């Protein structure tokens, strides 16, 4: 039995500048899911995880704008809402795609909480911008009334809330996810899990307490893959390879780097924190914690990448 944890980026669902309609998101998803369905046709089962940046931003914006009519929910509840919204869209698009390949798999979405550590230094230093832009007056009020951290965005000329982005420690629903994808006597399901990096919770006296933070989806995918003892982690993005000197005329695609190579390149500043950085961190961590193989590539190269003929391949 071949299985993988596959992470798809926000661009696979909503491209920059595109209007966040259901139609646009479904059209993008259908394109991406066609490649994933091909992989399933080729004998793989999968746990699929996804980013939620634009979508949770919109849920936050709705909560903000309507706060006098509907009580605003804290960030972790907005993440849960985005998992519902996006999980549904993805399961619909995936069902269509696997059906086109002649398969009748059930695509199941498990609402997923991710445990983070209250001692994580990220809680002292929120860095992840999220939600709408505010005026200086609004920013001052939000700091006072809600205790938010807001920073000025000089490019856009407004203030924006920043929230902590702590490291994921463990997936609460790991046993359920494992049971669904490793079928045993049953037909395995295609499982959608840990959407948007998961709903962040702290553990306090054996129960879970939601916390206003966001978890990087690639790092969450790594923890999920480790927790369910998966061996193959696939991080899909909008570039075909991991590059050195990305975006310059000296850009060099990496085909088979070692984890040591990647750590050296990272320390040399080749992988920006907001884009390739978390993927490299997730890849190295996965291979040091029981994982066997990581592929970083674009959806269009997935089939060739699985055969070892494309994409950045990192082996333990």
Residue of 291, 258, 296 lying closest to 277 (CA atoms)? 296
* 23-27: long-range contacts, CB 8 A cutoff, minimum separation 24: 25/89, 26/89, 26/92, 26/93
Q: How far is the CB of 304 from a second copy (least distance, A)?
A: 27
Q: Could you give the dihedral angle defined by the CA atoms of residues 93, 98, 101 and 105, in that order, rounded to the nearest 10 degrees?
A: -160
Using rule CB under 8 A, residue 41 touches a second copy: no
Using rule CB under 8 A, residue 146 touches a second copy: no
Q: Judged by CB, which is closer to a second copy: 101, or 167?
A: 101
174 has catalytic annotation: no
Rule CB under 8 A: choose which of 1, 16, 17, 19 binds a second copy.
19
CA distance 41 to 38: 5
Contact 27, 173 (CB under 8 A): no
Q: For residue 284, is it left (φ>0), alpha (ψ between -120 and 50) or beta?
A: alpha
Buried b (16+ CB within 10 A) or exposed e, 63-87: beeeeeeeebbebbebbbbbbebbb
Using rule CB under 8 A, residue 77 touches a second copy: yes
Q: Judged by CB, which is closer to a second copy: 147, or 274?
A: 147
CA distance 269 to 272: 7
DSSP per-residue string spanning 144-212: HHH--EEEEETTTTEEEEEE--PPP-EETTHHHHHHHHS-TTSPPPEEEESGGG-EEEEEETTEEEE-S
By CB under 8 A, which span of 42-50, 95-103, 218-226, 235-243 interacts with a second copy?
Answer: 95-103
Q: Which residue has the tokens 């929910």?
A: 73
DSSP per-residue string spanning 266-288: HHTT-S-TTTHHHHHHHHHHHHH
CA distance 45 to 275: 27
Q: Which residues in the 239-258 window bind a second copy by CB under 8 A?
A: none
Q: How far is the CB of 200 from a second copy (least distance, A)?
A: 11
Using rule CB under 8 A, residue 15 touches a second copy: no
Binding mask 195-234 for a second copy (x = CB under 8 A): ----x-x---xxxx-x------------------------
Using rule CB under 8 A, residue 3 touches a second copy: no
Rule CB under 8 A: choose which of 8, 34, 75, 110 binds a second copy.
110
Rule CB under 8 A: choose which of 31, 41, 73, 128 binds a second copy.
73
Q: Judged by CB, which is closer to a second copy: 76, or 259?
A: 76
By CB under 8 A, which span of 35-43, 53-61, 259-267, 274-282 interacts with a second copy?
Answer: 53-61
Annotated catalytic residue, options 11, 28, 52, 63:
11
Pairing of strands 2-8, 44-50: parallel
217 has catalytic annotation: yes
Rule CB under 8 A: choose which of 1, 16, 17, 104 binds a second copy.
104
CA distance 123 to 133: 22
Annotated catalytic residue, options 105, 174, 217, 281:
217
Under the rule (CB under 8 A), what is the footprint of a second copy? Answer: 19-22, 58-59, 61-63, 65-66, 69-71, 73-74, 76-77, 80-85, 87-89, 91-92, 95-96, 99, 104, 106, 108-111, 113, 172-173, 175-176, 179-180, 184-187, 189, 192, 199, 201, 205-208, 210
Catalytic residues: 10-11, 128, 217, 279
């Amino acid at each position: 039995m071949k299985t993988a944890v596959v992470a798809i980026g926000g661009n696979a669902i909503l491209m920059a500048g595109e209007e966040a309609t259901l139609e646009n998101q479904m059209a993008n998803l259908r394109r991406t899911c066609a490649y994933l369905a091909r992989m399933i046709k080729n004998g793989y089962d999968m746990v699929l995880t996804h980013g939620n940046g634009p979508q949770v931003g919109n849920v936050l914006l709705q909560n903000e704008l309507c706060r006098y009519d509907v009580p605003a929910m804290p960030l972790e509840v907005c993440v849960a809402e985005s998992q519902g919204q996006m999980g549904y869209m993805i399961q619909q698009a995936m069902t269509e795609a696997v059906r086109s390949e002649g398969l009748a798999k059930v695509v199941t979405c498990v609402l997923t909480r991710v445990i983070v550590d209250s001692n994580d230094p990220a809680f002292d230093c929120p860095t992840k911008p999220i939600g709408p832009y505010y005026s200086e007056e609004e920013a001052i009020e939000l700091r006072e009334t809600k205790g938010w951290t807001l920073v000025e965005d000089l490019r856009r000329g407004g203030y924006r809330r920043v929230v902590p982005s702590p490291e994921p420690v463990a997936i609460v629903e790991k046993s359920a996810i494992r049971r669904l994808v490793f079928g045993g006597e049953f037909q395995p399901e295609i499982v959608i899990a840990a959407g948007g990096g998961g709903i962040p919770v702290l553990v306090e006296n054996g129960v879970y307490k939601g916390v206003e933070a966001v978890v990087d989806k690639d790092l969450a995918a790594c923890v999920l893959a480790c927790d369910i003892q998966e061996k193959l982690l696939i991080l899909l993005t909008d570039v075909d390879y991991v590059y050195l000197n990305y975006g310059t005329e000296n850009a060099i695609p990496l085909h088979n780097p070692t984890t040591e190579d990647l750590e050296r390149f990272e320390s040399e500043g080749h992988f920006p924190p907001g884009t390739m950085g978390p993927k490299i961190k997730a890849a190295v961590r996965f291979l040091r914690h029981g994982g066997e193989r990581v592929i970083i590539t674009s959806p269009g190269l997935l089939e060739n990448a699985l055969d070892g003929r494309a994409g950045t391949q990192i082996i333990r």
